[in-house]
Structure 1
Amino acid sequence: MREARIAHPDATVETTRPAVQQSLPRRVYDVLELRAPWLIDVLREAVTRRRARRIARPLPRARFGSADAATGTVPAPAAPAADGPPAILFGLHWLQPSGAERWAVETIGIARRLGFLPIVVTDHDSVHPWLTRPELADALVLALTQEPVRPVAGDADLLEALLRRYDVRGAVIHHSDWLYAALPALKRLRPELPVVDSLHVIEYLGGGFAGRAVEYDDGIDHHHVISPQLVDWLRDVQGSTPRRSGSHRWPGSRPARSGVRRTGCRPGGTAPGSRRRAVHDRLRRTALAAEAPRPLPPARAPSAAAGADYRAILHGGGESRPLVDALIRRYGLEKRVELRDESTPVGQTYADSDLLVIPSLNEGLTLTTFEAIAAGIPVLSADVGSQRTIVEGEMLVPWRARGFLRAAIPLIADFASGGAAGEARRERAWRAQRDRTRAFAALPDAHHHFEGLLSTWRR
């Protein structure tokens, strides 16, 4: 049975993480992650390659039958409440800082401005630091526990109670296992309700949330996607039909072909010029935005290679923070790596940086890429997801750790050298990325797309 969890006002992600008895393999993994991270990289890469092959073929689909998956009962159609305000059901992973949640909260804000009551259900354990954001003012928020992912007794009852109590006009899924799994019941209770999901990245553990979208495709009326890679995978590999595939720019790199369209989140405007340094000034800092703890070896190695007073900023937080702290101590990076959390505005980090480095193992098309370019900063990225939409040439480096370091270290060392040639090279990279960003931005904007879409639900 699921529960709603309420944290102490001073709670953090670290202090509220449940204490669980770890298995021996998990304990061994944790030791290796701290003492031999290079070996963990090799293992992760091998697993990623194997999982990528698995999702390169059609995934299984859920059956939309006549009985509830958890209880075996057949719910009666739920008539909407006649006297309540129009509402939209939102399914979210959590209310915690991330690019996906930033976009999710923006769509909730759109719904509020259109006069809808947002009903927000989260299904992942968190202290939900964004619960007090203005977009959630007067919203109904239900914070459920993470487990189990599949439907359980009571899920259908909760869904039915919401549909009978509120005048729900539609559902929007932002990385929500609970709402994906609830779709069969939702379509039995209110078959006319439109359902939209918003997808960001193909994850290699069964496709992640994109895989869940494929599994429950029969209950989704409109897929909103943000990257060309995801467009092609949904349409060409998974066979998502034109009737149910659509989206816009997050921003996309090329005109959408029939079947799946895409939209984009606004990059915030492109800077008129790159963030220039005086010639002979060394590269003092670079922002590292990545899947922790993979940023740490790049942070360590280029500084030694460049022989510069070089510092890295790692901006973010969450469950990996204790491991990152331990790795910083182990590698002696206390004076070279500065950790920042959400108490520091992201804009300040970009203002303090000369380069954004993305050494992630898996991404879609990162919002940080657009933010950095808009701030006048070029991006050096692993060749993952749809990053090549914006980042090309020498700035797009192999995604495997060893190849990434071999390509990235000499490039960062050249940027950090303080010479005119290195600075010109860095500015050329930014200008090329700015031009691709401008072309990408010509596609329709996701904010306006959702605004128009949700407007049609007002009746």
Structure 2
Amino acid sequence: MNPTSELGQPALFRIVSGSDIPNDLSERERRLLVGALNFHALVAPSRVLEVHVYDGDAHQLPRTTDDTTFHGLATSYRNRLFSLEIESLVPAENRQPIAAEGPAQELRAGRTRHIRLTRDAVLSADPPRDVARGRLRRAARAVRTRWPLAYDTLRDIELLRHRKPLHAPIARLDYPSLFAPGGIHEDSEIVMAPSAPEGAPRAVIFGLHWFELGGAEHWALESIRLAREAGFLPIVMTSRDSHQPWIQRQELDGAVLVPFSEATTSSQTPGVEEVLRGIFANFDVRGVVVHHNQWMYDRVAWMRLSRPSIPIVDSTHIVEYRGGGYPVSSAIVDAYLTTHHVISPSLKDFLVDVQALPAEKVLMAPLAGLTAGESDMSFRRRQPGEPFTVAFVGRMARQKGPELFVKTVSRLRARGHRDIRFIMHGDGELAGWVDGMIAAGGLQDVIERRSSADPVAATLERSHLLVVSSHNEGLTLTTLEALTHGVPVVSTDVGAQRDVLPPRALVARRAHRAVRELTERVAWLAGDEAAREQLWLDERAAEKHLHEVTSASQWFAEEVSTW
């Protein structure tokens, strides 16, 4: 089990025929393909499948596991690249199916599968997530484009109705009751995973959000590396649509990958869990780690019932204003988790004080050592004649508030601060929109744009101040990295940023006020070198204090060694 396929990746299948497979597939493209075929090998054990592989453009995300891959009834399956036959190496179970499996079995019964890849050229374009569908969404998009701060204000008002879990404990999941009469799965039943065979590879399952740039993803990849060093085979499953640019990272070398495409629904039977059954039946699973993966949260209880003694660890970074986000998902399934790992004191307080989780189950271990330069560094002084440079580093996504940064730049220019230069470092689904804002404001010569292909360290080495303009955050890795490069940070007062930054470095989260206060802070620090240095000294001291406790890497290395 787990041979290396002809495509050079750990696989749960073998290729029976595939003479027209292109020999110019990149590492990313091969891993996407193997990951999709791994999924279909798991849900069609011991069967031979005919697989047609299609090309997608920049406006189409890969289709690897969702229901359309079973029937191909979608207009996007047009441009066929090649076809192949595979044989699943996952042994079939000898058991009596339950009645509720019928619809899922019917979908999976076909011999043909349809997979859409995207070639590496799409990575230079914005991912197609910011698509306005329907009149209301198109109207909202128009408002956001023309009046971004007004849109942010309206969205904050809309979010008020989702705030209950931010102030009161969420109801806990009683998994068996879902299958009792009157439950949402009353027509199904819970079928436990069979035992793995003697000598099966020892494995750890990881549930990730996606393979893209992000602080949570940095830490997820580090935990995968540590599990591999401890002698385990990582089985890595993602839950979100993406071009998956990070699937080629070296931390994933030798791992079994299953990158999902949304939504994988009809092919799975509640209580049976065909994908996870295949994994548990063929690997000696010693533990499970969840990193912001809702598909996995929804199946934590089934995994616990199937393997009562294994550790199931959750790792969360950020409380979302819309219903609390993943920490609330974690609280819902608390009874089935072993440990809640959090990266900041503020998040621990939320889970213990607001969500009423047992304090002994919540472990705070910060993400020390995941950024470049762990040793003490000196303050980044401004050299004679050097323009004061302010950086934004992050994904071009709504959460990161890039529009607040652009509006701050515009406001500073309007106030006569024409000697300040700016860098916006990052890409993402809003990159085109942000570039349009910059052009509309005549700021192309003021704001230097850099992509995620550029080293963050190189940006920070040219900067004197980092601005974090996020609408929501945990404790950003960019904050920690800036401090190690001698650069102080000013941030919106969100998430756990206040665990490191003093009050004078924090501004209001609300959009209009945030822009006003960011303008004031940047202007102040651009003109007061002593104040800027003292801010960095205070932030560096707070960071060192935070990191006096065991780091996430140290904790997990010790934890996984016991599995």
Q: Normalising by structure 1, what TM-score?
A: 0.89
- The match for 2:226 among 100, 110, 121 is 110
Single out whichever of 376-385 and 276-285 deviates more from structure 2.
276-285
Alignment of 1:83-102 (within 5 A): 83-102=199-218
Q: How far apart in 1 are the matches of 2:519 and 2:266?
A: 44
1:207 corresponding residue in structure 2: 324
Question: Does 2:224 match 1:224?
Answer: no
2:417 pairs with one of 307, 311, 314:
307
Q: Secondary structure at the match of 2:392?
A: strand
Shift of 1:58: 1.2
Who is 1:278 aligned against? 383
* Corresponding position of 1:7: 118
Secondary structure of the 2:532 match is helix
Deviation of 1:55 (Å): 2.4
The superposition leaves residues 303-353 of structure 1 with CA deviations (integer Å, 9 ceiling, x where unpaired) of 333523322211111111122122112222211222212210110111111
Match of 1:340 among 402, 425, 450: 450
Q: Deviations over 1:159-201 (max 9, x none)?
A: 1111001111110000001111111221222122210010000
CA contact (8 A) 1:285 1:311 kept: yes
Contact kept, 8 Å, 2:127 with 2:428, in 1: the verdict is no
3-state DSSP of counterpart to 1:97: coil
Task: Indicate which of 61, 86, 90 corresponds to 2:172.
Answer: 61
CA deviations 1:60-110 (Å, max 9, x no partner) are 222221776767122134212322321000001100111110110111011
Structure 1 residues 194-234: Cα deviation after superposition (integer angstroms, max 9, x where no partner):
10010000001111111111111111110000122211110
Q: 2:38 is matched with which residue?
A: none
CA distance in structure 2 between the partners assigned to 1:291 and 1:285 by the alignment: 15
1:146 paired to 2:262: yes
**Residue in 1 that maps onto 2:550:** 444
| Residue of structure 2 aligned with 1:369, choices 475, 479, 483 | 479
* Alignment of 1:37 onto 2:154: no
Cα distance in 1 for residues equivalent to 2:456 and 2:552: 22
Mark the CA change 1:272 to 1:389 in structure 2 (over 3 Å): closer, same or farther. same
Change (3 A) 1:271 1:245: closer
Name which of 280, 297, 301 aligns with 2:407: 297
CA 1:16/1:415 → structure 2, altered by over 3 Å: closer, same or farther?
A: closer
The CA distance in 2 between the partners of 1:126 and 1:79, in whole Å, is 33
Q: Does 1:197 align with 2:314?
A: yes
Could you tell me which amino acid in structure 2 is paired with residue 57 of structure 1?
A
- Could you say which residue in structure 1 is the equivalent of 2:532? 426
Map of 2:289 onto structure 1? 172
Q: Which residue of 2 aligns with 1:259?
A: none
Contact 1:91-1:172 at 8 Å conserved across structures: yes
- Partner SS for 2:242: coil
CA-to-partner distance for each residue in 1:283-322, whole Å, 9 max, x for gaps? Answer: 1343354333332111222233352332221111111112
Aligned-partner Cα distance in 2 for 1:149–1:330: 43
How far has the Cα of 1:447 moved from its partner?
0.3
* Counterpart among 231, 239, 246 of residue 363 in structure 2: 246
Contact 2:389/2:423 (8 A) holds in 1: no
Counterpart for residue 131 of structure 1: 247
Matched position secondary structure for 1:278: coil
Unaligned segments of structure 1, at least 5 residues = 252-263
Aligned residue for 2:85? none
The structural deviation recorded for 1:5 is 5.4
* 1:349 pairs with 2:465: no
1: distance between equivalents of 2:199 and 2:241?
A: 33
Q: Distance in 2 between matches of 1:272 and 1:373?
A: 8
Identify which range, 301-310 or 38-47, moves more after superposition: 301-310
Which amino acid letter does the alignment assign opposite residue 321 of structure 2? Y
Range that drifts further, 218-227 or 398-407: 398-407
Judge which range, 343-352 or 282-291, deviates more.
282-291
Report the CA distance shift for 1:448/1:19 in structure 2 as closer, same or farther (over 3 A): closer
Q: Which residue of 2 aligns with 1:260?
A: none
| Partner-residue secondary structure (3-state), 2:274 | helix
Which sections of structure 2, spanning at least 5 residues, go unmatched?
Answer: 1-65, 70-114, 395-399
Bigger drift between 311-320 and 442-451 goes to 311-320
Aligned residues: 441
Report whether the alignment pairs 1:390 with 2:495.
no
SS of aligned partner of 1:84: coil
Q: What's the secondary structure of 2:402's corresponding residue?
A: coil
Instruction: Kindly state the Cα deviation for residue 148 of structure 1 after the two structures are TM-superposed.
Output: 5.7
Q: Could you tell me how far apart the structure 1 residues matched to 2:525 and 2:511 are?
A: 20
Q: Distance in 1 between matches of 2:385 and 2:120?
A: 49
- Structure 2 residue 343 is matched with structure 1 residue 237: no
The farther-off stretch of 71-80 and 386-395 is 71-80
Query: Which gives a bigger RCO, structure 1 or 2 (Cα 8 Å, sep 6+)?
Result: 1
Cα distance change on mapping 1:150 and 1:437 into 2, 3 Å: farther
Question: Identity of paired residues, percent?
Answer: 33
How far, CA to CA, are the matches of 1:150 and 1:243 in structure 2?
38
Q: Distance in 2 between matches of 1:161 and 1:424?
A: 61
Aligned mates of 1:94, 1:316 — CA distance in 2: 17
Q: Deviations over 1:416-451 (max 9, x none)?
A: 34xxxx111111111111111111111111101000
More divergent stretch after superposition (42-51 vs 278-287): 278-287
Following TM superposition, by how much is the alpha carbon of 1:10 offset from its aligned partner in structure 2, in angstroms? 2.7
